[in-house]
Amino acid sequence: MRDLGPIHTSLLDFTVASSSIHADIAGFRDTANALDQHLIAVEDQEAVLPDQEAELRALRAKITNLEDRSRRDNVRFFGIPEHKKGSDIKSFLKPLLSDRFGIELSSPLEFQRVHRIGPLHKATSDKPCPIIACFLRHEQAHQIISAAKCKARFPWGVTRSEWQQISPN
């Protein structure tokens, strides 16, 4: 039995080594299973991606359409001198459009809002801020634009003295 001592020791070393290898193989199996699960999740997300891209294109088109619709009631006016801060631009535009430029509308002008774009300039400035008017009815905006295209001097080309005659105090 003396001769079996070294074999017994070798068998114990082999058992310990095989146990370590078995643990390593189990760890690799767990890692492979986790990678398989991750790959399945990525493939599922990749399958949904074309649908999300189509939805994104549809949403972008919808946003563009909504922006265009919200702008169709707007008309910009250039070259109208700036008056005292707080003056009522709405009450200034109504007679200007109807009386001065002869634009006849089927119904009275109604605005959602009217304001200047950008910071106010000095009264002596040659470049006053433009006015943007959002009309309550887009038909009125289109009528004004159509009438403006027919008028050669709307409101461009009006001299400062002409503006002073029609401008509110």
pLDDT of residue 66: 92
| Percent of the chain whose pLDDT exceeds 70 | 75
Q: Is 140 left (phi over 0), alpha (psi -120 to 50) or beta?
A: alpha
* Mean pLDDT of the 44-72 span: 89
More confident call, 90 vs 156: 90
pLDDT of residue 154: 44
Mean pLDDT of the residues in the chain: 78
Q: Which of 21-30, 83-92, 153-162 has the highest mean pLDDT?
A: 21-30
Amino acid making up residue 20: S
pLDDT of residue 119: 74
Does position 122 have pLDDT exceeding 70, yes or no? no
* Mean pLDDT of the 129-137 span: 87
pLDDT in tens, 16-50: 888 889 888 999 999 999 999 999 998 888 888 88
How deeply is 105 buried, as exposed, middle or buried, from its count of CB atoms within 10 A (0-12, 13-18, 19+)?
Answer: middle
pLDDT of residue 64: 94
Q: Which of 9-13, 52-56, 78-82, 86-90 has the highest mean pLDDT?
A: 52-56
151 confidence band (pLDDT: 50, 70, 90):
low
